[in-house]
A = this chain, B = another copy of it.
C-alpha cells in the first residue's frame, strides 16, 4: 500500500450508519444537504444509504447523480447475495446496481459464528457469496469497498476462516478491504496485532470501520492507520447505532495534526467545527459541548491560573491551536475582540457604526444578553442585520402589531389531528391605516402566518413572491417540560435567494412570531418599496 504514502482517505457513513443512531431520522433533503457539506469539506467517499433495505434511499441516489460533486465519490451500501441464489438475481444486489453510484460498499461475513447462526448457511457458501457478489459488482465497473463485518471478532474465533473471507473478496477484485469492528468491543492492542498480521497476506489497500462500544473507536481507527490502513470509515460527531461509530471530527485532526498523515486540505479543516454543528442541526441532535476538537467547551478555560498562563502562551493549557479545526478559545471575551466582530459584520452589511464606540458597546451587550437567552445569530443573519439596523436607527418599521388572538379548538369527533381547527385574528397598523383580519391554518403558527400575509399583502403585494422553506423548533432546556424556552429558526426564500431568522420565547407562538415577522421585514427591506 505504499503508493498512498501519507494520504489517508476518509469514507463518511453519516448518511447510512449514522442514521442508525437512536433519535436520528433524515429526510432525502436533509441527506443531500449533509452530503453537499461533506463534499465541500473534501471528504473522499460519501455513503448515501442502503438502497436494498430502504426504498427511500433510492431517491437520494437519483438526485445525487444530477449533482456535480467537487471531489466526493458517492457510495451505495449493500450486503453480499443471499445463500443459494445467483448474485444477479438478488434484489439487494440489483438495488445496489440500480443506485448507479461510482462506488459500492458490500458487507460480508467474516465470523464463522455469524455464518452458521445468523445466516444459517455453510462456511463454503459464504465464501461464494462474497466472491460472486464482489465479482458481479466489479463486472459492472464499480469501485468496490468490501466491508468485512465482525472482522476482529471473527479473526479471534477462527483466524484461518476470517482471512479466507478477505482473500475471497480480494480475489474477486475488491478495491478496498475494510476491517470492521462491528460490535465495537476491540481493544487497540488487538487491532494492532491483527491488522499487522493481515497486512502480510492482503495486498489490496485496507480500511478500518470501528464502533465506540468500548469508548475506543477513535483509538482503534488511528491505531489501524499506524499499521498501514489507508481508509477510515466513520461519521460526523460519531453518530451511529448504540454508542456510535468512529467520530471523524476526532479521527481526522488526530491523524493530520498529531500523527502527520494527510486527510483533508488544511484550509478545509478550518471548517470542521462548522460542519460538525451543521450536521447536528440538520439531524436535530443537541451538540455535545464537551466534544473533542469541535465542542463549544473544547477550548474553554475557566478563570484564574489557566487563563493567565494561556495568555502568556496558549500551549500551556491547549493541546492544539483551536483555529486549525475552526474552533475558538473561550476565555473572558475582551470587549475589544467583541467590538471588532460587530464592526466587521456591520461593515459587511454596509451599516456604519465604527465611529460610535458607545453604540457598538451597547449592541455587543444586547447581543450577549440575547445569546444568553438562547438566540443564535450564526444561523440567522437576517435577524442580526435587522437588530443592527434597528440599533443604529437605520430602519423604519413596515408594520406594527395592534393585537393578535389565536383560537385552537379540538373535538374528539374531529378525528386524529386532521380535524383540529386553528384560527388567528390579527390587527396591524401600517402607516396610519389599521387592518383587522383573520385566517385559518393547519396549526396555530400556520394560522398566524396566513393571517399576517392576508393583512400585509394589501399593502405589500410583493410578499406573494416570498415563501418559507424551512421551519425548525429546538427546545432549549427540556428539563422545564412544556414550560421550556423554545428557539424557532425560519428559512425563507424568493427567486433570488434564501435568508434565515430566529425567535426565542417560552411561548412557541411568540418565538414563531419573532422569526416570521423578521423574515417579512427583511424581505421588505431588501426587495420592495411601499405601495403607497
Contact = CB atoms under 8 A, between A and B. Distances in A.
Interface string A248-288: 00100010001100000000000000000000000010101
A482 B426 CA distance: 17
A27 interface: yes
B320 A185 contact: yes
B477 A300 contact: no
Given A214-B250, A250-B215, A288 B289 contact: no
B185 A258 contact: yes
Nearest to A259: B187
Band of interface residues on A = 35 or more
Interface in A351-369: none
A472 B478 contact: yes
Given A409-B404, A483-B443, A291 B243 contact: yes
Contacts of A213: 292-293, 298, 319-320
A254 B317 contact: no
Contact of A290 (B244, B305, B478): B244
A29 B407 CA distance: 35
Contacts of A291: 243
Nearest to A226: B189
B507 A477 contact: no
A409 B403 contact: yes
A52 to B, nearest CB: 12
A119 to B, nearest CB: 9
Given A118-B316, A408-B406, A410-B513, A479 B473 contact: no
Given A22-B332, A405-B408, A298 B243 contact: yes
A188 interface: yes
Interface string A201-235: 00000000000111110110011001000000000
A449 to B, nearest CB: 4
Contacts of A408: 404-406, 408, 444, 507, 509
Contacts of A391: none
Contact of A214 (B184, B292, B401, B412): B292
Contacts of A442: 482-483, 506-507
Interface of A: 20-23, 25, 27, 29, 53-54, 113-114, 117-118, 182-185, 187-189, 212-216, 218-219, 222-223, 226, 238, 241-244, 247, 250, 254, 258-259, 284, 286, 288-293, 295, 297-303, 305, 308-309, 312-313, 315-320, 332, 335-336, 376, 378-379, 400-412, 416-418, 420, 422, 441-446, 448-449, 467-484, 486, 490-491, 504-514, 516
Given A22-B290, A118-B316, A468-B482, 4 more contacts: A215-B247, A215-B293, A401-B411, A444-B507
Closest 4 CB pairs of A and B: A185-B319, A468-B481, A219-B219, A470-B478
